Chain A
Amino acid sequence: MASDSIVNWSLLALSAPGWGGVLLQGFVNSIQIAIGGFALGLTLGVGGAFGKLYGGPILRDLLECYTTVVRAVPELVLILLLYYAGTDLLNQLLALFSVGPVDISGLMAGIFVIGVVQGAYSTEVLRGAIKAVPAGQIEAARAYGMSPLKVLRRITLPAMLPYAIPGLSNLWLIATKDTALLAVVGFSELTLVTRQAAGTTKAYLLFFLAAGALYLALTLVSNIFIGMLERHARRGFAEQR
């Protein structure tokens, strides 16, 4: 048992006897899932927001069910459900085409799960942002004879960005923290790896604090970039307050 008066820093060494390399690998996995999940969520969110605003009544109601369920059920439960249901469905689908079952990589499953959860939240964020775009701008674009796709690309998406960025940056920070929940389904991201390292070496505090520092660093670095992005998107806006 390591004496707690002196911190045994060599446990964090990058090479084999130390666990630093393993932690960093877990950290990279976490970031990969967060990026993938956020991107997938954003794609679902753009589709969902436009569906909710301009879609037919049935599509709108279905999307409403999607966002309601995701926001009312804990992420942990959703992750378990989506993880099992997703892999099961894929394997059954493959069996239909008479392809043998495949082992779905944890990375893909994690991105899928986080993405579906994020999609519901970004639907809400983007819907609010699109509604905040002055209607006159979109009408003007239509009056110029732009096709709906061109209106989307040239007017709606750029004009809604300043309204969407606070909510979306929030979602990015949530995505980085939600990756920790994948530890429960056994994916070796930072939190699970930390627990394994801590359990093996019995230096619980050291490893959990080290992992906390990594997560915090990710959040703080993200915040710097978010600040820059926000200033860029809000250029030309009248300064508030």
Chain B
Amino acid sequence: MTDQTTHAVAFTPEDLPTARSFFQPHRIVMMLVFAAFVVCVAVFMRWDWLPRYLPRLGWGILISLVMLFSTSILGFLLAVPIGLAQVAGPWFLKLPAKVFCTVIRGTPLLLQLWLLYYGLGSLFPQFPAIRQSFLWPYLREAWPYGVAALTISFAAYEGEVMRGAFAGVPAGELEAAKAYGMSRWTMFRRIWLPRAIHRALPTLNGETVLQLKSTPLVATITVVDVYAVISKVRQETFLTYEPLLLLALIYMCLTGILVVAFRTFENRIPTRGA
């Protein structure tokens, strides 16, 4: 397998248009055509359902974002040891980490999600010990399975990225740290991890955008995120296109905000540049 992740080419800050680039003659014409299209959509399509569903849509977006950030953070915390185990671990850590990454990246997320929700979900009630434990009220809900599946998926893809990042830190920097008499832990904490994260940052941002695009899958196991709200709208109003267009617009806005936020964050990290 190649070094890179088996995920798609993510939407990156370089893809964002600059403000000045809009004032070219052909673009002004194209934007007028697009504006006419938007006006047509607003006038000729049915949008009277929108105010009724607005509060629920807001909650749905919030749930989607909570899903995104919680699973990204948890997944990243798992990805660091997974990446490290593959670079520096003994074989009994290296092998499971490698197998974990291969298996998770080789199967669809939807299948993993359904395996956890329907498979484990049907297995748990058969054990009285689990039914009586304090976890049971949570295990009867859908969202823990959604969080688990998304976290595992993010950890596997990001673990592979971190493996490359850990391996790519120049040996001279680690030798210098050793020469300063740093212990292994200090060296890891001060040099190896920060440098690896810095190297992985652009990919990490891309993976987070892709993670946002994976969150609507949790709607298939009855978590009420923004996708599920739109599905509800479609069922109740018998409209096909309007809710889906709105949903696409919402996701485009979220992606745009995420990418801009990452760019400002990335620009704040000092780098030695030409």
Contacts and interface: CB of A to CB of B under 8 A. Distances in A.
Interface of A: 4, 57-58, 61, 68-69, 71-78, 80-81, 84-85, 88, 121, 124-125, 166-167, 169-171, 173-174, 177-181, 183-184, 191, 194-195, 198-199, 202, 204-205, 208-209, 211-212, 215-216, 219-220, 223, 230
Given A77-B247, A215-B107, 4 more contacts: A71-B8, A72-B251, A180-B109, A208-B115
A72 B6 contact: no
B103 A216 contact: yes
Q: Which of B6, B107, B251 has the most CB of A within 10 A?
A: B107
B interface: dominant SS: helix
B227 interface: yes
Given A74-B214, A121-B9, A223-B1, A180 B118 contact: no
B111 interface: yes
Given A61-B27, A68-B15, A77 B106 contact: no
Interface string B106-127: 1111111011001111110010
Contact of B107 (A72, A76, A85, A216): A216
A200 B252 CA distance: 39
Interface residues of B, number: 52
Contact of B115 (A72, A73, A209): A209
Contacts of B227: 74, 76-77
B7 interface: yes
Contact of B213 (A74, A184, A216): A74
Contacts of B183: none
14 contacts: A4-B126, A68-B11, A69-B248, A73-B252, A75-B213, A78-B248, A84-B241, A84-B244, A166-B4, A174-B6, A174-B8, A179-B108, A181-B108, A209-B115
Contacts of B102: 216, 219-220
Interface in B1-26: 1-2, 4-11, 15, 24, 26
Given A58-B30, A209-B115, A170 B6 contact: yes
Contacts of A191: 108, 110-111, 114
A145 B226 CA distance: 57
Contacts of B255: 72-73
Contacts, number: 143
Given A58-B26, A74-B214, A205-B119, A124 B248 contact: no
A177 B26 contact: no
A74 B120 CA distance: 27
Contact of A181 (B11, B103, B110, B123): B110
B100 to A, nearest CB: 12
Nearest to B31: A61
B217 interface: yes
Contacts of A166: 2, 4
Summarize A's interface: helix, strand, loop or mixed: helix
B70 interface: no
A220 B107 CA distance: 11
Nearest to A216: B106
B123 A4 contact: yes
Contact of B10 (A71, A198, A205): A71
Interface in B242-264: 244-245, 247-248, 251-252, 255-256
Interface in B167-220: 212-217, 220
Contacts of B15: 68, 71
B222 interface: no
B104 to A, nearest CB: 10
A169 to B, nearest CB: 7
B108 A180 contact: yes
Contact of A73 (B103, B120, B248): B248
A195 B118 contact: yes
Nearest to A3: B126
B214 A198 contact: no
Interface in B112-162: 112, 114-115, 118-123, 126
Contacts of B4: 166, 170
Contact of A205 (B115, B213, B248): B115
